[in-house]
A and B are shown apart, each in its own frame.
Chain A
Amino acid sequence: GAGVSQSPSNKVTEKGKDVELRCDPISGHTALYWYRQSLGQGLEFLIYFQGNSAPDKSGLPSDRFSAERTGGSVSTLTIQRTQQEDSAVYLCASSLQPNYGYTFGSGTRLTVV
């Protein structure tokens, strides 16, 4: 596609529920990144996928968070048993190759009530 697409754009969920956030990267981009942007905070790295290599999960804040990338394209970030501190904007980015510069999606605003 023309850009990185994320869905849903907004998600309100009750505490304790599971949520899935989806990212469609730009076609042909081998690198895919997930970041979290909390109110008044910078961007926090969560996870990185590059081709068929094992993902870099070093930024996931707890074992409630997981992500997968199917067929080297679409990625899903799953948050289990959501907590209020999970409320944030979740940003996905893709890149043709490392250090080429990211193209970000518009993000999913997650609100846990």
Chain B
Amino acid sequence: AQSVTQLDSQVPVFEEAPVELRCNYSSSVSVYLFWYVQYPNQGLQLLLKYLSGSTLVKGINGFEAEFNKSQTSFHLRKPSVHISDTAEYFCAVSVSRHGSSNTGKLIFGQGTTLQVKP
């Protein structure tokens, strides 16, 4: 079964510092990968996605993620964070099986809380 592991439940970081939120997945078939963000008291918002092509994906708010097939990882990065980036971040995987349709059903990680301090 597919699974997603977010290695850090909480990541504290000072404002303007770089940050990396780690995500590893388990799957023996090709995958589509997503990062979602949930700001306090708000719904989930799509940050970025990898479907195919370039392994470096750029998203909203200056975030980017790199798909690494050999390491089965999809880590999220930002070179300089702001207070407003404080939120919970979820990594998710959707599995595509050769020869059959993909439902788009996502398996989510447990989430990483990014706490940006002044």
Restricting to B78-104, which residues have a CB under 8 Å from any CB of A?
Answer: 90, 92, 94, 96, 101-104
**Interface 0/1 of A62-104, CB less than 8 Å to B:** 0000000000000000000000000000010101011111111
For the A-B complex, the count of residue pairs with Cβ-Cβ distances under 8 Å equals 61
Q: A43-B90, A104-B44 are in contact. Are A98 and B101 (CB under 8 A)?
A: yes
How many residues of A sit at the interface, in one of the four size bands? 20 to 34
Contacts of A42 on B, CB cut-off 8 Å? 90, 108-111
B102 interface neighbour in A35, A98, A104, A105, Cβ under 8 Å: A98
User: Which residues of B approach A to under 8 Å, CB–CB?
Assistant: 32, 34, 36, 42-46, 49, 51, 90, 92, 94, 96, 101-111
Contacts of A97 on B, CB cut-off 8 Å? 104
In the complex, 14 of the A-B residue pairs with CB atoms within 8 angstroms, ordered by the A residue number, are A33-B104, A42-B108, A43-B92, A43-B106, A43-B108, A45-B105, A45-B106, A48-B103, A48-B104, A91-B43, A98-B103, A101-B49, A102-B106, A104-B36
* Chain A contact residues, majority secondary structure: strand
Contacts of B34 on A, CB cut-off 8 Å? 101
Q: How far is the CB of B17 from chain A (nearest CB, A)?
A: 26
User: Which residues of A approach B to under 8 Å, CB–CB?
Assistant: 31, 33, 35, 41-43, 45, 48, 50, 56, 91, 93, 95, 97-107
Are the C-beta atoms of A98 and B43 separated by less than 8 Å? no
Q: What residue in chain B is nearest A95 (Cβ atoms)? A: B104
B103 interface neighbour in A41, A56, A105, A107, Cβ under 8 Å: A56
